[in-house]
Amino acid sequence: MESVATSQSATGLGSPASTERPLIYRQSRWTRLTHWLWAISLFFMLLSGLQIFNARPQLYIGKQSGFGYNNTIFEIGAENTSTGTRGYTEIFGHRFDTTGVLGWSGPAGNETARGFPSWATIPSYYDLGTARVIHFFFAWILTTTLIVWFVASLVNGHIRRDLAPRLDDLKRLPQDIIDHAKLKFHHTREYNTLQKMAYGGVLFVLLPLMVITGLAMSPSMNSVLPFLNEVLGGRQTARTIHFTVMLLLVGFFVIHILMILAAGPINELRSIITGWYRTDPPAHDDKTPERSA
Amino acid sequence: MAKFEISRRKFLTGASLGASGIMLSGCDAFDSQLSIGSGLRSFLENANGLTYRAQRLLAGRDALAPEFTEADIRQPQRPNGVTSPDDDDYKALLANNFADWRLEVSGLVEKPLSLSREQLMNMPSRTQITRHDCVEGWSCIAKWTGTPLSLLLDQAVVKPQARYVMFHCLDTIDRSLSGDIKYYGTIDLIDARHPQTILAYGLNGKPLPVENGAPLRVRVERQLGYKMPKYLYKIELVDGFADVGGGRGGYWEDNGYDWYGGI
């Protein structure tokens, strides 16, 4: 699958050989296909998930929700105040006014009490049943894609070659962080250390944890895997973890997009659509090619 | 090569503009495709059938839902939905402390039953401390006592063509132009015969309160709360439910919830 094509004509400048930026085949068809299936399914799962959360915009720790006692750690709500209804968000007992976005939102003069605002949910109107239909449809897509990716990436060497961290990666980490902070990007066939950590973390930690905590919330699956909730700290803790992983995935998405914009969106998009990626010119005055940091 | 480059760039620009357009305006357009009966909705709902078959395969017929200890009962069972039926027939039964209430078992059975509350409570019972998971996301642990549904099914002798158990309830959950809508629901015979599926008349060591479904409610511990009707008065064995209510097998199902509530 390793291919290299020179791209002098593409640059159109007749640049000397030393500054050639070769097009290399970087992303296999499996990586590209699963990437976009995840993008689609995570989009729908997030927005339908926020709708599902709106049915009970509270998170608890433990086996059950505290009604006769307090184990709520997160809450979005609305309250009447002297200045009218206000939306609030409470995290570990600390309350923030989030009127207009969380708790109390909608067109001016026509606001409603809802956890996440209309623009952030599918469907936009309150409908738990429909949100669940969408969520579970894409849960099947997401999980199937994860399994397909794992098998394909084991077979084609993607995991071993591109994602498995090596000792070198650890040594390069400080320089990698400095380079990222300076927005200095290297374009190579290989992922840099922070990329390996981010992609590996999403694929081997966050997405599996999302599936596991999702299954832990199913009363039917509790009869098959009763230990799951015990390990996770109870059904309501599993729900809280599910929500927290969502926040981490949204965080990953934001950084992912920022990195693509900073590193050259056309080149990055090309590689995840066609597989072909334009790399930095090889360093000829050095025996070992300059590694991405 | 250069030509390819330009067209690809144009394609990418167009694609990203198109995608952001869909993102911005698509949500509202998507809404209209999601009403019950629409093609897209029906397609997405296929996932529920897949989930049902997959979980049945994994959980089998008899795998038990987790049971808890007395120490886990930390609060009263939170009531939900209808908590005080306004129906005249229900209020009359309640006024008489359900002395006139009877449970009917009918439909596709060899020997239809009509049981008083006393007869039901004299049958063998099962007590279990289980967690009630509401579709909304909350959970509550409580102790339930009742008659295993399988005992009633055995006594009534279910005909081979029966496929579902339909629960008929006394409470009006909704009103429509064509009249009151009483709560109803269906489960398959695997769940109906599950060892933890009981008709509960006791909660936390006391008679079942009105708000939790007195005199009798269903417990189906491997499913969500909306699959466990309250204010039960009739059990009907059926071979399908297409002709009843909205045809989707239950009050909440007719309102867009999945029939299989094991997830």
How confident is the model over A183-192, as pLDDT tens digits?
888 898 889 9
Task: Tell me whether residues B58 and A140 touch, CB distance under 8 A.
Answer: no
The token duo for B1 is 């090569």
Rounded CA-CA distance A36/B179 in Å is 48
Residues A101 and A220 in one domain: no
Residues A82 and A50 in one domain: no
Per-residue pLDDT at B15: 58
Residues 167-226 of A with CB under 8 A from B: 217-224, 226
Residues A185 and A158 in one domain: yes
Residues A178 and A43 in one domain: yes
**Residue A185 resides in a domain:** yes
Per-residue pLDDT at A289: 45
Residues A188 and A238 in one domain: yes
Question: Does residue A64 sit at the B interface (CB-CB below 8 Å)?
Answer: yes
Residues A186 and A48 in one domain: yes
CATH number where A186 lies: 1.20.950.20
Residues A111 and A62 in one domain: yes
DSSP state of B215: T
Per-residue pLDDT at B31: 85
Per-residue pLDDT at A98: 97
**Residue A16 resides in a domain:** no
Per-residue pLDDT at B12: 53
Contacts of residue A269 in chain B, CB cutoff 8 Å? 12, 16
Residues A145 and A268 in one domain: yes
**β-strands A112-114, A103-105 pairing:** antiparallel
Per-residue pLDDT at B32: 83
Per-residue pLDDT at A12: 40
Sign for the pseudo-dihedral over CA of B82, B84, B89, B94:
positive
User: Within its chain, how far is the Cα of B77 from the centroid?
Assistant: 17
Per-residue pLDDT at A290: 44
Tell me which of A18-27, B97-106, B238-247 is least confident: A18-27
**Domains (ranges, CATH) in chain B?**
70-255 (3.90.420.10)
Residues 102-121 of A with CB under 8 A from B: 119
Residues A215 and A79 in one domain: no
| Residue B92 or B1, more confident | B92
Closest C-alpha to B87, from B210, B209, B258: B210
- Please tell me the total count of domains within chain A: 2
Half-sphere exposure of residue A75, counting CA atoms within 13 Å on the CB side? Answer: 18
How confident is the model over B26-61, as pLDDT tens digits?
556 778 889 999 999 999 999 999 999 999 999 999
| Residue A8 or B74, more confident | B74
Chain mean pLDDT for chain B:
92
Question: Does residue B75 sit at the A interface (CB-CB below 8 Å)?
Answer: yes
Rounded CA-CA distance B65/B45 in Å is 25
Residues 263-282 of A with CB under 8 A from B: 266, 269-270, 273-274
Contacts of residue B59 in chain A, CB cutoff 8 Å? 220-221, 223-224
Rounded CA-CA distance A269/B186 in Å is 49
**Residue A286 resides in a domain:** no
Nearest Cα of chain B lies from the Cα of A186 at a distance, in angstroms, of 22
**Residue A202 resides in a domain:** yes
Residues A197 and A227 in one domain: yes
Question: Does residue B70 sit at the A interface (CB-CB below 8 Å)?
Answer: no
- Residue from the list A9, A67, A226 with its beta carbon closest to the beta carbon of B75: A67
CB B221 within 8 A of CB B256: no
Amino acid A6 reads T
Name the burial class of residue A166, with classes exposed (0-12), middle (13-18) and buried (19+) by CB atoms within 10 angstroms of its CB.
exposed
Residues A83 and A145 in one domain: no
CB A289 within 8 A of CB A29: no
**Residue A210 resides in a domain:** yes
Minimal-distance CA residue of chain A relative to B60? A224
pTM, full prediction: 0.90
Domain hosting A223: range is 31-56+125-278
Residues 138-177 of A with CB under 8 A from B: 139-140
Nearest Cα of chain B lies from the Cα of A272 at a distance, in angstroms, of 12
Per-residue pLDDT at B17: 56
What is the full per-residue pLDDT of chain A (293 aa) written as tens digits? 444 444 444 444 444 445 688 899 999 999 999 999 999 999 999 999 999 999 999 999 999 999 999 999 999 999 999 999 999 999 999 999 999 999 999 999 999 999 999 999 999 999 999 999 999 999 999 999 999 999 999 999 999 999 998 999 999 999 999 999 998 888 988 899 999 999 999 999 999 999 999 999 999 999 999 999 999 999 999 999 999 999 999 999 999 999 999 999 999 999 999 999 999 987 654 444 444 44
Q: What are the residues facing A276 on neighbouring strands? A: A25
Q: Which of B27, B191, B228 to mutate to test the interface with A (most CBs of A within 10 A)?
A: B27
pLDDT band at B82 (very low <50, low <70, confident <90, very high): very high
Residues A208 and A164 in one domain: yes
